[in-house]
Amino acid sequence: MACKKDHSAIQDIMADLPLDQGGKGRHKCAACAYEKGFEAGKELEEIINLSEIFDSLEESQAKNQRHKSPHSAFAQRYLDGVQAYYDNR
The Cα–Cα gap between 73 and 89 comes to 25
pLDDT-derived band at 34 (thresholds 50, 70, 90) equals: very high
Are 68 and 28 spatial neighbours (Cβ–Cβ below 8 Å)?
no
* pLDDT mean over 28-53: 93
Are 84 and 42 spatial neighbours (Cβ–Cβ below 8 Å)?
yes
pTM recorded for the entire structure: 0.86
Cα separation values, 51 from 13, 45, 56, Å: 23, 15, 9
Are 73 and 47 spatial neighbours (Cβ–Cβ below 8 Å)?
no
The pLDDT, as a whole number, for residue 64 is 61
The Cα–Cα gap between 20 and 27 comes to 9
